[in-house]
Chains A and B, each alone.
Chain A
């Protein structure tokens, strides 16, 4: 699917939800626990049906990025499934915060 910045996606097989921070121009397949995530939906699963090879656990507040694909998502609700884009696992982005200011 074509993703847009600001879109919220939910996993049909566990509790994970993410929000798109950077979107690729091309179509990509964004999956959680091996199953395509759904735009705008509510997460719908307890993780019990996930193939053990696809357990990875998205963590609340962490960003997952694939520079090659041009995709960055922020996990807004954690879950058990592994986040993958086009079949490749999405690694956590290293945190580099700015000095706090406002």
Chain B
């Protein structure tokens, strides 16, 4: 079904409830419906075939999303920190789009020949307009996708993932009960709009009837202040944000917080353990998913978190490092190099199938096998009870002396050392071994430690073949806005440090 249907239901079911923004100045469900209908008329009038959104997250974003959906064109949220070359190449895919851009980004859209609104102009325009797009009927499902998100590969140019209305709808209907949120619930989203989690969050919160507040620029202090001021009950963060909040000296009480969901990158065990202890009333959720799967395909729920923290059983404790069990509607297989499905405890490629799985790329089509399974290119294994452990990207695998090594395994061990705040392990070219292991470490302030001691620490947990040969101390690691490590940059910088070139 068209995702517009979900907004129409919200407008019918709780039209007077504020669903976007602050309690005092927010937009109600009925208003969101009206604004999006005006926006759809604008898109149709302009003859645009897409709506590009190149700005920070804010109230204009859900209005844009549903305006595009009602007009039957894709919403294209774009990373506003892309380099000029990458941005121009991406925009060249949408020459007939209408654009919404922040002040700093408008120039790029103008350069591409698009008509541009600022987010404020878009909101004012849709509010003032009396035009509306007629309801084209529930049965209609436009062929263009609902949203196109470009995934950042770390080695190649971004690919556009086509998220169809049925992918997003089936995800929402499968995981959210309509109008299940109480009047006083509020979600705080600090994820940028070009991330699948932000897209999914707009729809899931709307369908549940939960007001959504956006924090554009994340600092731990602002996050905490906003959470208290807006009476936030649900929060969505990426692991680096939780780490910064946990490490900060600010007042960390958030009395209204009941649920905190995280995902997008692996969560260091120390951070989640501290968060669990710091906020005993909060339900933590680890959500694993990809852009290609319309976000969450596996969940480690609040009960799972607490059970793991409190257990004496090694296998149960280990689940704190898992991403939990698959959500209803998803089938998952772990496959070996020969495409055979393997049993519990065996590491392989995570492959999934389900209605929410798009796996469709612009210009390429659906990348699924003959049984409809999509290879996530994430490594992982299942334990005896179906808890999924993600081991990192296939491409990150280090191959040293014909042995495959997952950086995540070594990073996990190093993160257990009390002095280590953050770490990246990479394979560097080596004449003798093919690759050798090196690490860039960010130390916790005030806790100096000799690299030799860190190496001993790793060696005592893993074999010496998995011990980094060289450790460099850095102030921070190169990560994307959503906290994903850019290993290529780590390799580059380590190379420069070694060779002075």
The answer to whether A binds B is yes
The answer to whether the Cβ of A37 comes within 8 Å of any Cβ in the partner chain is no
Q: Which residues of B from 269 to 285 have beta carbons under 8 Å from A?
A: 283, 285
Nearest residue (CB) in A for B287 is A101
The answer to whether the Cβ of B79 comes within 8 Å of any Cβ in the partner chain is no
Q: Are B180's CB and A60's CB within 8 A? A: no
Determine the chain B residues whose CB is within 8 A of the CB of A102 once the complex forms.
Answer: 197, 200-201, 204, 236, 261, 263, 287, 295-296
Determine the chain A residues whose CB is within 8 A of the CB of B137 once the complex forms.
Answer: 40, 42
The answer to whether the Cβ of A89 comes within 8 Å of any Cβ in the partner chain is no
The answer to whether the Cβ of B208 comes within 8 Å of any Cβ in the partner chain is yes
Report the bound CA distance from A66 to B234 in whole Å: 34
Q: Are B201's CB and A62's CB within 8 A? A: no
Q: Which residues of A from 1 to 57 have beta carbons under 8 Å from B?
A: 5-8, 10, 17, 19, 21, 39-42
Choice from B166, B187, B285 contacting A99 with Cβ under 8 Å: B285
The answer to whether the Cβ of B385 comes within 8 Å of any Cβ in the partner chain is no
Determine the chain B residues whose CB is within 8 A of the CB of A42 once the complex forms.
Answer: 137
Determine the chain A residues whose CB is within 8 A of the CB of B355 once the complex forms.
Answer: 5
Q: Are A76's CB and B9's CB within 8 A? A: yes
- Contact-residue bracket for chain A: 20 to 34
The answer to whether the Cβ of B485 comes within 8 Å of any Cβ in the partner chain is no
Q: Contact string, B32-65, partner A, CB cutoff 8 A, digits 1/0?
A: 0000000000000000000000000000000000
Given the interface pairs A99-B301, A102-B295, the reply to whether A74 lies near B263 with Cβ below 8 Å is no
Determine the chain A residues whose CB is within 8 A of the CB of B263 once the complex forms.
Answer: 101-102
Q: Are B173's CB and A100's CB within 8 A? A: no
The answer to whether the Cβ of B242 comes within 8 Å of any Cβ in the partner chain is no
The answer to whether the Cβ of B5 comes within 8 Å of any Cβ in the partner chain is yes
Report the bound CA distance from A101 to B8 in whole Å: 23
In the complex, given contacts A8-B5, A41-B139, A100-B285, what are 18 additional A-B residue pairs having Cβ atoms less than 8 angstroms apart? Answer: A5-B355, A6-B1, A6-B141, A6-B166, A17-B138, A21-B173, A40-B138, A60-B178, A77-B9, A78-B12, A98-B175, A98-B299, A99-B261, A101-B286, A101-B299, A102-B261, A102-B263, A102-B295
Which B residues fall within an 8 A CB radius of A?
1, 5, 8-9, 12-13, 137-139, 141, 166, 169, 173, 175-180, 187, 197, 200-201, 204, 208, 210, 234, 236, 259, 261, 263, 283, 285-287, 295-296, 299, 301-302, 327-328, 355
Which A residues fall within an 8 A CB radius of B?
5-8, 10, 17, 19, 21, 39-42, 60-62, 74, 76-78, 95, 97-102
